[in-house]
Chains A and B, each alone.
Chain A
Amino acid sequence: MRAKSLLLVLLMPWFIGFTSDENLPPTGDTPVALVKKIVKDVTYKKAGQSDWEVAKTGDPLFDQGQVKTGSKSLALVLFTDGSGLLRVRENAVLNIYGKRNDKQLDKNTYIDKGLIGFEVNKQENAEFKFTTPTAVASIRGTLGFIEVGSDSSTTISLEKGSVEFQSTRGNKGSGTVTGGNTAKIDLLGNVNLNSATEEDKNKNSTTKQLTTKKVKIKTPQGDIEIEYYSSGNR
C-alpha cells in the first residue's frame, strides 16, 4: 500500500506536467529573420520578386526570402525568434524559410553556394535546418560553418555542439558531426567524417571576422588598395 502511494506521488507530477501545454497564438506576418549588418555588396529578394534589392541594416527577411553577397562582402542575419545568427560570407546565396508553429519558429535555409558561419542557440522544440544541393543538416545548438563548394559538395565543420546530417544523393550517407570535427558530403552521397583540419579551424575563425579594413600603398605607378577582413563586434 505504502509503495503504491509512493508510486502514485512520483507519477502524478508527470501527468500534471504532460497535460500543462497550452495552445498559443496563430502565425502572423512576422519576418523570419532580419539583416543585422552588411559589408559592401549585399542584396536581397522577397518571395516571387525577380530583381535583387540592395540590403540595408534592419531589412526584414520573410519566408522564402534570399540574401546574396558579392566579392569581399558579408551579411549578418539574425533569426527573429532569437535562436541565433548566420554569417553569410562572400559570393554566397542564402535562401530562408520559416514556419510559425505556435510560439516556435521552424527554420530552414537553402544554401546554393558559398560559406555560411552559424551560431545557433539550443533549440527547445523548434527545428533549425540547413539544406544544400547534397545534404540536409539538423541542428539544435552549435557553432561552426557550412560550405557548399563549386562542385556542390557540402562541408560542415563545428567548433561546438553537434549536427545530424544526411546526404540527399547517391549513397545517402548520414551521421553526426560534433565539436572539433568536420563532415564532407560529396555528390555521390559519400560521407567523410574527420577531425577538423587547420584549414577548417581557420575558416571557423575567419567566418567570425565582420569588418574589412583598407590599406592604401602609394607607388609611383599609382595607389594599391588592399582590403582585408578584421575581427570586430558581431
Chain B
Amino acid sequence: MKKKDFIKNRFFSIIIFLQLFTANQVFGQISNIVSSVKIGDAKEKLPLEISAELFSSENITNMNIAYKPFGENEFKKAEMLIAGNTASITLPAEVVIPPYLEYYLIINLRNGSTQTYPLDVSQGVSPLQISVSTVSEKEKEIIVLSPNPGEMLSGDELLISISFIKAPENIDVSKTKIFLNDTNVTSYELLTGDLIVLSGENLAGKIGYGAKLLTVEVYDKEGKLYHTLSRSFQTVSAEVAMTVSSKWKYYGNLKGESRNESYNSTSTWYNNISGEFNTTYNDFRFNAFAYLTSEEKNNLQPYNRYTAAFQAGDWLDLKAGDSYPIFPNLIMDGQRIRGFSGALNLGFINVQTAFGETTRGVEGNLLQTYPVGSVPLGSDIILIDKVKNIYGKVDLGTYKRQLLVVRPSFGSGENFQLGFSYLHAKDEVGSINYGARPQENIVIGTDIKFAFDDQNILLTSQAAISVQNKDISTGTITDAQIDSIFGKNSNLGMSPSDFKKIRNIVGSFITVNQYLGPWNPQEFSSLASETALSLNYLNNNLRASYVYRGNDYQSFGQTFIRTDVKGINIVDRIRMLDNKLFVSFGYESLKDNLQNTKVATTTYQTISASVSIFPRVDFPNITIGYNNYDNNNGLNVTNAQTSPFAVNDNTNRVLVQLSYDFTAGIRHNSSLSFTTSDRKDNTLAKMNANFSSGSLTLNSFWNQQLSSLFGIVFSSSEIQGVPFKYISFSFGGKYLMLENKLQLIATLCPSFGDFKRQTLEFTADYNVLANLNLMFQARLFRIPGASTNSIIGLVTRLAI
C-alpha cells in the first residue's frame, strides 16, 4: 500500500472512530418543537437560507433567530417567517462571513415562556455553527462564461463556454466532461487554450428544446474529480426566444396545504394557501406574495402574510403589506411592519421610508373586578371604569403599535453617504380595553460612510439618540398639573410657563408627562453609536469597531439590540496560500454599567481564533475554531455582601468541522463536526456547565434515482452537576421513480440515552403535470412510555 493511501485510509479510520463518539447539531438537537434545521449553501457574502422544520407550530407565538459572525460577542436577532410547519429566514449577505456563523433559535410560546434551540443556550449549551466557505474558490477558478443562470436561448444563440484561465496547474482541461441533462456532449466541444466552447452550431439537432441542466465535471491530471459545476438554462425556438424577449416575463406559483396534527390524543386540522407572482419588464419588476392560514386568529399576532412589491432598477423600491425594512441597525432592522415601505435612490439624494403597524392590537381578558377600597397591588390590576372607579385583574392585552421611519441620505454610498433618520412609534391607547402602560418612542439618528480605493478602505459610523415615554395612558401633562408641580411652593427651579413652553415644543413630537425619559440625558444614557473601519489589503481583511449604547437607549424598530455596553471589537481574516488557508483572529472587550446603574462594572472579553483549510486536493476541508469568553465584574466572590452580585466566569469552546466529497465506488459527501465547551463559574452560584456535541452525516449517491443519508449525533452536557447524554441516528433515502415524476423520501431517527424518541418521516411528491405537484407528508414521533403523535398533510403546488 502506498504511503499516501495508508495515510488516507488511516484518516478515514479516525473519522469513522470519531463518528461513533461524537455528536451532531443538525439532526440530534433535542426539542419538542423543532424537528430539524436545514441550512442552505453557506458561501461568503451570499444570502443564507435557514429553515426550521417544526413538529407543530400550534403553540408558537413567534420565532426569532439569533446569529453572529466569527469574532463578535453580540448576537443579532431577526424574526423568522412561520408558514405551515416551517419557520424560515434568509440571513443578509453581509453577515455571511468565513470561517463560521454561530446561531440559535428563540421560540416564544403562547403560554408566555421562551425556549431556545438548542435547549438551554442561556445555561451554557453551545449555539450551533455554520461553516461558511470562502466563495467557492473552485468556482472562482473555473468560470462558466455562458450560459447565464436561467438564461433562455434559441438554438442559434446557444453557447456553452467554460474558462480555465484561473484554474490551478493540476487541472487537466482536456479531461473535462460536459453533460446536458445527463447526456454527455463532451465530444462536441472545441478546446482553445484554457477555454472550452460548445456552440449551437456544434449541437444543432443534438439537443431538443426545454429546460437544460448543464453539468461540468473537472478533473485533475491524475484523473481524479476536482470539482463539479452545474447551471440551469432553457433552449427554445427562435420564434419563442423572440416572443419572450419582447413581452412581459412572468411566473408564479400557488401552494395549498391541508394537514392533520395528532398531538397527545388531540387532533387538529390546519389549512393554508400561499401564492406568489412575479413579473418583469426591462428594469421594472413586480412581485406579489400572500400566505393565508387557518391559524390566523384575532386574539394572536398575525400569522397571515401578504406583500406587493414594485422595483424600478436600483432607483425605486416600493412595498405594501408585510415587509422587513432595513435602516441603520441602531434605528430599524429585523422588525416586521405591515403597511408601506419604500426607497427612492437618485444617487446624490435618496429617501427611504416605512410606516405601518408593527404590533396588532390584541384585546386582554377581564378576570376579576374590585371596588375602590379593596384593590390589591399588582401589575395586572388596572382601572377599567373611570366613571364608576372600578378596577380589574386582567390578562393584559397588546396595544396596536404604529411606526413611522424616514431616512433621507446624500450620496450613492459607493464612496460617500450621509444619512439622517427619524423614527416615531406609538401605541394606540384606544385600540384595546384591557391593557397597561402604552408607550411611545422617538429616535433621531445619523450615519455616514466613506469608502476609498474601491471600498478597500471603508469607514462607517452611526449615532442615534432616543426618547421614550413608558406610559402615555394618562396623556400629556395638563396646565393645571404643571401649575401644581412648578407653582409657588415648588423648589424645582423652573417656572410653570417655561415648562409649558418646553411641553408645547416637545409635545408636538411625543407625549409629555412624568413617564418621559431619559431622566439623565447628560450622561448619554439614551445615546447609541458605532464606528467601524475596514481595511482590505495584503490578503488581510481587518475590521476594527467601537460601540457605545447607553442603558436607556431604545428603538421600537430594533427591539433586539443590546444596551448598556461599550467597547471595541477587532477581527482580522487572512487569506493565505492562494486561498487554501484561511486564518482568523478576533478580540472583543465590552463593559457595561455605563450610567452606574449596577453594583459593579462587568468586563466581557472574547478571544477568538480559527483556521480553515481548503486543500483543493483529495482531502477534507477542515475548520478548527477556538473561543474564550471571560466575564468578570471584580467583586469579591467570597464576601457575603458582594458575592450575590459577583460575575466571574470563563468559558473555553473548541470547534472542529470537516467536510469531504469523495468517491468510494459511488459519490459521497460527508461532514463531521465536534464542539466542546466548558464554563467555569467562580462565584458561589457555581453555574458550571460543560457541553460536548458532535455529528456525522454521509450522503451517498447510488445512481441517478437513489441517494441515501446516514447520520449520527452524540451530545453530552452537564449543567450545574446535572448530566444529560443522548445519541441519535438518522437513516434516510430518496428515490425517484416513474420517469422521475415520483419522488419518495423516508427518514428514520431513533434517539437513545437520557432522551428517547423515535421519529419517522415519509414524503411522496408526484409531478402530476409539468406545472402541478401533489405531495403527501407523514411524520410520526413516538416517545416511549409517553405518547405517539403524528402529522399528516397533503400539499398541492401549481406553477404558472
Contact = CB atoms under 8 A, between A and B. Distances in A.
Nearest to B573: A13
Contacts of A162: 414-415
A37 interface: yes
Contacts, number: 143
Nearest to A30: B193
A193 interface: no
Max chain B Cβ within 10 angstroms of own Cβ: one of A24, A57, A82, A231:
A57
Interface stretch (B143-151, B557-565, B617-625): B143-151
Interface in A38-79: 56-58, 60, 78
Interface string A1-37: 0000000011001101110111011001111001011
A178 B414 contact: yes
Contacts of B653: none
A171 interface: no
Contact of A31 (B153, B192, B200, B314): B192
Interface residues of B, number: 54
B245 A211 contact: yes
B576 interface: yes
B174 to A, nearest CB: 13
A161 B451 CA distance: 13
A13 to B, nearest CB: 5
Given A56-B199, A57-B158, A179-B347, A16 B576 contact: yes
Interface residues on chain A, size class: 35 or more
A23 to B, nearest CB: 10
Contact of B246 (A60, A140, A232): A232
B454 interface: yes
Contacts of A37: 157, 159
A80 B414 CA distance: 27
Contacts of B242: 211, 213
B195 A80 contact: yes
Given A28-B193, A179-B347, A211-B245, A13 B583 contact: yes
Interface in B537-562: 538-540
A25 B166 CA distance: 9
A81 interface: yes
Contacts of A105: 165
A82 B145 contact: yes
Nearest to A35: B159
Contacts of A210: 245
A20 B577 contact: yes
A230 interface: yes
B574 A16 contact: yes
Interface in B565-582: 570, 572, 574-578, 581
B146 A36 contact: yes
A17 B576 contact: yes
A17 B201 contact: no
A193 to B, nearest CB: 14
Contacts of A10: 570, 572
B182 interface: no
A80 B348 CA distance: 35
Interface string B395-429: 00000000000000000101100000000000000
A7 B454 CA distance: 28
Given A30-B193, A58-B197, A80 B165 contact: yes
Given A28-B193, A211-B245, A13 B347 contact: no
B167 to A, nearest CB: 8
B385 interface: no
A119 B253 CA distance: 32
Contacts of A221: none
Given A34-B145, A80-B195, A233-B152, A13 B585 contact: yes
A122 B454 contact: yes
Interface string B160-204: 010101101100000000000000000000101111011111100
Contacts of B539: 17-18, 20-21
A209 B246 CA distance: 10
Given A18-B538, A20-B576, A34-B161, A233 B347 contact: no
Contacts of B163: 30, 80-82
Max chain A Cβ within 10 angstroms of own Cβ: one of B158, B192, B199, B282:
B192
A136 to B, nearest CB: 18
A234 B347 contact: no
15 contacts: A13-B585, A16-B574, A20-B539, A57-B201, A78-B146, A80-B194, A81-B163, A82-B143, A103-B166, A122-B454, A161-B414, A179-B412, A180-B412, A231-B245, A233-B153
Interface of B: 143, 145-146, 148, 151-153, 156-159, 161, 163, 165-166, 168-169, 190, 192-195, 197-202, 241-242, 244-246, 282, 314, 347-348, 412, 414-415, 454, 538-540, 570, 572, 574-578, 581, 583, 585
Interface of A: 9-10, 13-14, 16-18, 20-22, 24-25, 28-31, 34, 36-37, 56-58, 60, 78, 80-82, 100, 103, 105, 122, 140-141, 160-162, 178-180, 205, 210-211, 213, 230-234
